[in-house]
Every structure is written in structure tokens, then in C-alpha cells.
């Protein structure tokens, strides 16, 4: 698989207006979503400092952009003085470094607390000390938990059912408190199921699309957990990058949370069928036991982010699957 994804930067040239040229900190910038953001920021002529401990991120993901405008600092988001020093050099931070897996957070709840919550607090605190630099951070659909009605809207109270969801909700609550007490402006981006080129399929916790595409490449049947009737709202990584940049660009004061999805619900059975159609195969999937602690339904109401940030999910699931499959097989 190649690095790919340069076309994503081209997609964002229209965002240059009003954004101004600046230097940004991107934590988790060598990871899947972070590396696409770094590419887009480079395409917009911004300077970027990437902070990544390379635990799941990879240097190769951003190799193409390292140079005079972009540097990689290997370090931990929990290192307060490092975070403060790096934020001091920038106009604001995109905070994507996290322990991102729901099942892993169930196995290692204290580690999730430490990385996801303490890491975010470090940045909020650094911002407070430095005259309130804007923080746009990755939150999650996991803050909602299982609900009785869908789609979910930002006005619904959080009812997380995993440590990961709880810790992301606590990040948002701290961010709101920092806005009220210290005027730190921040935005929590509630990512739904993000997919696209460079998503690593190698762990059992990897995103389902990366795993399914990997199986297809190797002519192997995937395992669908449960009966496959569970649904997800899949959003292409390019659309997520658009949302992140628009959030940084927004003039809104205080704290805001936004759903970042497509607003479309797809069952895992349908997802496999669409992928088989894209590839032109007819491989039946195996069924395995349902995963513990996971939500059954996920669907975002995206009217708030559309109205307030001008976000539009541009890439259909089929288009995104084609792009991702092409990248995986190049
Ligand atoms: C996603 C996010 C997670 C969190 C959560 C919020 C990813 C990788 N994870 O978790 O960080 O934000 O949403 O709700 O995006 N599945 C299979 N077979 C496989 C792998 C997965 O059937 O080989 C199913 C799985 O049981 C689930 C669905 O596919 O129903 C999506 O799984 P996932 O791991 O891609 O993402 P999810 O929704 O658990």
C-alpha cells in the first residue's frame, strides 16, 4: 500500500479564504485522520508541528510533508511541558492523539483515562496559560451510548457505555468548563465511523472498512460480529478534515460540540454487500459472536454542523469505498 491521499489537499483550496496563514499543532498527526489533516494544511500553505508518540501513528504517513513547513516531534501528549512548549509556537491545536478503540478502553480503562482525558486537559491548560489558543479536538459518537431514538443530536445528554465514550464526554465537559472559567475557545468533534486511505487494518480493533477491504484484497471472507443488523454512520476522512478545518476557522466563542458523520445509516451486512459490488465479487461473510459493550445503532443528525460551520458531507459511501479500495490495492 502506498501513502496516497494527496488529492485530499486539493479538495480544500476553497477553504483558504478567511483562514489566514498560520502554524498549527496537530497531535496524533502521524495517525490515520491526523496525516490527512497534515496533508490538507500543507496544501493550504500552513506550517505544522506534529506531536505523535508513534504508538499507532507512522512516520511514513507524513513523510511526504516533512520539511521546512512541517516537523514531527516524537513525544507524549501527557508530557505537560512539551505540550506547553509546542503550543507556544503555534496559533492553535488540532488534538487527535488518543487511545481510539472502544474494546481496548474496556480492557484498559485507566490507560484510556490517562491518554484521552489527561492528554486533553494538558492542552486546555496550556491554552489557558498562553492567552487562549483555540483547541479543536476529537470527541466521539461513543458519548451518546445506546439511545431510543435516532438520529442523535448534540442537545441529547451523553450516556456513554464504554470508558472511551465516558472519557471523551469528560473531555467535552472540561472544555466547556475551561470556556466558561477561562475563555478558552474549543470545539469537540464527535466523529462517527471514519474511514479512508491509510486506515491500518492490522489490529482486531481497526475500523471495519479497513478490515473488510484487507480481506477482499486477500480473497478471504470477513467475520461479521453478531447478525450484521447493527448500523453505523460512515464518513469519509476527507469530509472529516473539511470539518476540522472549518471548526478551527469558525469565529464562534466558547465551547461547541458537533456531530461529524454523513447522516446515513448502513447495516454491516449492507456495507459488505456494497463493498462486494464495488470490487465485483460475491464472497459470503462468516458470522461470529457479537462484540461486548458496543452500540447497536449509530446515526448522526448533522444539521448543527451544516448550519454553523457550513460543513457538507461530500463523498458518498460508494465513492469513498472506491477511493479506499483503490488506495489499498495500488
Ligand atoms: C467506532 C470507532 C470508535 C468510536 C465508536 C463510537 C473506529 C475504528 N472506531 O467504533 O473509535 O468512536 O465508533 O461509537 O472507527 N465489525 C464486524 N467485523 C469486523 C470488525 C467490525 O462485524 O471485522 C462490526 C463491529 O461489530 C461494529 C461495526 O462493525 O458493529 C463497526 O466496528 P468498528 O470497530 O469499525 O467501529 P465501532 O463502531 O465499534
Which protein residue has the closest C-alpha to ligand 1 atom 18? 224
Instruction: Report, as an integer, the average pLDDT of 277-301.
Output: 91
The x, y and z cell numbers of residue 155, run together, are 442537545
CA distances from 258 to 104, 115, 209, 277, 301 (A): 24, 22, 23, 32, 10
Q: Would the CB of 160 count as within 6 Å of ligand 1?
A: no
* pLDDT for res 204: 75
Instruction: Report, as an integer, the average pLDDT of 283-302.
Output: 91
* pLDDT for res 1: 40
Beta bridge partners of 267: 231
- The DSSP string of 80-116 is HHHHHHHHHTSSEEEE--S---HHHHHH-HHHHIIII
The x, y and z cell numbers of residue 66, run together, are 516533512
* pLDDT for res 293: 73
Is 164 a residue of the active site? Answer: yes
Q: Does position 292 have pLDDT exceeding 90, yes or no?
A: no
User: How do strand 186-191 and strand 193-195 relate by DSSP bridges?
Assistant: unpaired
Instruction: Report, as an integer, the average pLDDT of 163-184.
Output: 97
Instruction: Report, as an integer, the average pLDDT of 116-145.
Output: 96
Q: Does position 123 have pLDDT exceeding 90, yes or no?
A: yes
Calpha distance 265→150 (Å, rounded):
10
The x, y and z cell numbers of residue 279, run together, are 470490487
Q: What percent of the chain has pLDDT over 90?
A: 86
Pocket test for ligand 1, best of 203, 232, 288, 289 (most atoms within 8 A of CB): 232
How would residue 12 be classed by pLDDT, with cut points 50, 70 and 90?
low
pLDDT tens-digit readout, 196-205: 999 999 987 8
Looking up cell 489527561 gives 118
Question: Which residue blocks in the chain are alpha helix, DSSP H?
Answer: 7-10, 32-43, 80-88, 102-107, 109-112, 119-129, 163-182, 208-217, 237-249, 268-279, 303-309, 317-329
Instruction: Report, as an integer, the average pLDDT of 293-312.
Output: 94
Rounded to the nearest angstrom, the gap between the alpha carbon of residue 153 and the centroid of all alpha carbons in its chain is 18
* pLDDT for res 10: 39
pLDDT tens-digit readout, 77-94: 999 999 999 999 999 999
How would residue 97 be classed by pLDDT, with cut points 50, 70 and 90?
very high
Q: Does position 115 have pLDDT exceeding 60, yes or no?
A: yes
Q: What are phi and psi of 21, to 5 degrees?
A: -90, 135
Which protein residue has the closest C-alpha to ligand 1 atom 5? 142
Instruction: Report, as an integer, the average pLDDT of 272-298.
Output: 92
CATH fold label, 6-192+236-261: Rossmann fold (3.40.50)
Q: Does position 249 have pLDDT exceeding 60, yes or no?
A: yes
pLDDT tens-digit readout, 36-86: 999 999 999 999 999 999 999 999 999 999 999 999 999 999 999 999 999
Q: How many residues are recorded in the chain?
A: 330
Residue 212 and residue 276 in contact, taking contact as beta carbons nearer than 8 Å:
no
Span from the CA of 209 to the centroid of ligand 1 (angstroms): 9
* pLDDT for res 20: 62
Instruction: Report, as an integer, the average pLDDT of 123-149.
Output: 95
- The C-alpha angle with vertex 33 and arms to 86 and 251, in degrees rounded to 5, equals 65
DSSP 302: -
Q: Does position 31 have pLDDT exceeding 60, yes or no?
A: yes
Looking up cell 512539551 gives 82
- The DSSP string of 184-207 is --EEEEEE-EEE-TT----STTS-
The x, y and z cell numbers of residue 224, run together, are 461479521
How would residue 96 be classed by pLDDT, with cut points 50, 70 and 90?
very high
How would residue 116 be classed by pLDDT, with cut points 50, 70 and 90?
very high
Span from the CA of 202 to the centroid of ligand 1 (angstroms): 14
Other CB atoms within a 10 A radius of the CB of residue 201 amount to 18
Q: Does position 177 have pLDDT exceeding 70, yes or no?
A: yes
* pLDDT for res 19: 54
Nearest to residue 242, comparing CAs of 187, 309, 307, 197? 309
Looking up cell 470539518 gives 243
How would residue 9 be classed by pLDDT, with cut points 50, 70 and 90?
very low
Catalytic-labelled residue, pool 24, 144, 164, 236: 164
Average pLDDT, the chain: 93
Span from the CA of 189 to the centroid of ligand 1 (angstroms): 18
* pLDDT for res 268: 98
Nearest to residue 298, comparing CAs of 93, 149, 109, 117? 149
User: String of b and e for 78-105 (b: at least 16 CB within 10 Å)?
Assistant: eebebbbebbeebbbbbbbbbbbbbebb
Calpha distance 307→252 (Å, rounded):
13
How would residue 240 be classed by pLDDT, with cut points 50, 70 and 90?
very high
Q: Does position 5 have pLDDT exceeding 50, yes or no?
A: no
Other CB atoms within a 10 A radius of the CB of residue 21 amount to 10
Amino acid at each position: 500500500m502506498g501513502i496516497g491521499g494527496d488529492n485530499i489537499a486539493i479538495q480544500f483550496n476553497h477553504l483558504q479564504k478567511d483562514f489566514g496563514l498560520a502554524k498549527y499543532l496537530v497531535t496524533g498527526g502521524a495517525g490515520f485522520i491526523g496525516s490527512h489533516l497534515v496533508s490538507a494544511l500543507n496544501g493550504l500553505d500552513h506550517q505544522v508541528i506534529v506531536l505523535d508518540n508513534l504508538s499507532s501513528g507512522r512516520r511514513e504517513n507524513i513523510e511526504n510533508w516533512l520539511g521546512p513547513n512541517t516537523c514531527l516531534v516524537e513525544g507524549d501528549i501527557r508530557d505537560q511541558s512539551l505540550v506547553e512548549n509546542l503550543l507556544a509556537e503555534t496559533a492553535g491545536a488540532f488534538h487527535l492523539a488518543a487511545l481510539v478503540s472502544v474494546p481496548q478502553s474496556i480492557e484498559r480503562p485507566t490507560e484510556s483515562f490517562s491518554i484521552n482525558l489527561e492528554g486533553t486537559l494538558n492542552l486546555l491548560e496550556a491554552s489557558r496559560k498562553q492567552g487562549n489558543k483555540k483547541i479543536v479536538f476529537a470527541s466521539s459518537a461513543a458519548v451518546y451510548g445506546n439511545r431510543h431514538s435516532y438520529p442523535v443530536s448534540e442537545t441529547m445528554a451523553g450516556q456513554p457505555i464504554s470508558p472511551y465514550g465516558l472519557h471523551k464526554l469528560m473531555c467535552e465537559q472540561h472544555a466547556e468548563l475551561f470556556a466558561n472559567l477561562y475563555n478558552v475557545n474549543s470545539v469537540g468533534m464527535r466523529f462517527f465511523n471514519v474511514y479512508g486511505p491509510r486506515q491500518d487494518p492490522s489490529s482486531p480493533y481497526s475500523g471495519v472498512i479497513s478490515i473488510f477491504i484487507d480481506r477482499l484484497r486477500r480473497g478471504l471472507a470477513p467475520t461479521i460480529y453478531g447478525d450484521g443488523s447493527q448500523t453505523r454512520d460512515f464518513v469519509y476522512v476527507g469530509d472529516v478534515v473539511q470539518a476540522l478545518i472549518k471548526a478551527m476557522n469558525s469565529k464562534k466563542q466558547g465551547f461547541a460540540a458537533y456531530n461529524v458523520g454523513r447522516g446515513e445509516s448502513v447495516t454491516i451486512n449492507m456495507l459488505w454487500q456494497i463493498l462486494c459490488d464495488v470490487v465485483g465479487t460475491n464472497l459470503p461473510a462468516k458470522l461470529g459472536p457479537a462484540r461486548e459493550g458496543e452500540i447497536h445503532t449509530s446515526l448522526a443528525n448533522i444539521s448543527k454542523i451544516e448550519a454553523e460551520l457550513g460543513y457538507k458531507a461530500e463523498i458518498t459511501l460508494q465513492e469513498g469505498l472506491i477511493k479506499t479500495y483503490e488506495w489499498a490495492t495500488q
